[in-house]
Chain A
């Protein structure tokens, strides 16, 4: 079974609008972490936001917020006030187990296109 599921292959949004990118995850671990990374066409992977499984509040980083619904095992990324520079591929990723040396598993990604 897929550990990370991103059901939206592509999303279109107009500049200045908000957009939600979906991510659901599957783990039996009590301790885990959820991440969102942005990959522009240039290829680099840019860290956006992190949510720990024990964090009670949703993570926020500037225009990015993570809508964490633990019971539903979802960790959606919300981008407020989209900008043209937000056009990129977005990956949801999960670290299973306690923070340590475990690696990240990525979803298939969602391509976001922001239009003027």
Chain B
């Protein structure tokens, strides 16, 4: 079965650079979530989209932006990168009306800022 696809899987950037992470949800999933997991930390919710509109916002820095496109894929854009942005970034998806609310996670994109 198709899963959530994230790219790139690994990314190394320098401070003050920009980075873009991509997420391709499971087919027919219209809701996408972005989470950030720092080293040894629990995943922290950043932002979510439903039907290409932002549906909820968590602890996303102003330097970050995200959007969901017409094909439901999503991109997380990160600018003026800081050392503290080094983390595993998860994208998760689910159908909007899913009974339990379970999120299906991708394998994550590991960002290292040097």
Residues of A within 8 A of B (CB): 33, 35, 37, 42-47, 50, 52, 91, 95, 99-109
Contact = CB atoms under 8 A, between A and B. Distances in A.
A50 B107 contact: no
Contact of A44 (B31, B50, B102, B108): B108
A26 B64 CA distance: 30
B8 interface: no
5 contacts: A37-B105, A42-B107, A102-B56, A102-B101, A104-B101
A96 B95 CA distance: 17
B51 to A, nearest CB: 10
B45 A104 contact: yes
Given A33-B100, A52-B100, A103 B56 contact: yes
Interface string B13-56: 00000000000000000010100000001111100101000011
Interface in B39-90: 41-45, 48, 50, 55-56, 58, 88, 90
A6 to B, nearest CB: 9
Contacts of A46: 105
Contacts of A43: 88, 107-108, 110
B108 A101 contact: no
A106 B103 CA distance: 12
B100 A50 contact: yes
Given A43-B108, A95-B101, A101 B42 contact: no
Contact of A103 (B42, B48, B88, B105): B48
Given A101-B50, A108-B42, A109-B42, A35 B88 contact: no
Nearest to A111: B40
Given A47-B104, A100-B96, A101-B50, 20 more contacts: A35-B100, A42-B107, A43-B88, A43-B107, A44-B105, A45-B43, A45-B108, A47-B102, A50-B100, A91-B43, A99-B97, A100-B97, A100-B101, A101-B31, A101-B55, A102-B101, A103-B33, A103-B45, A103-B58, A104-B45
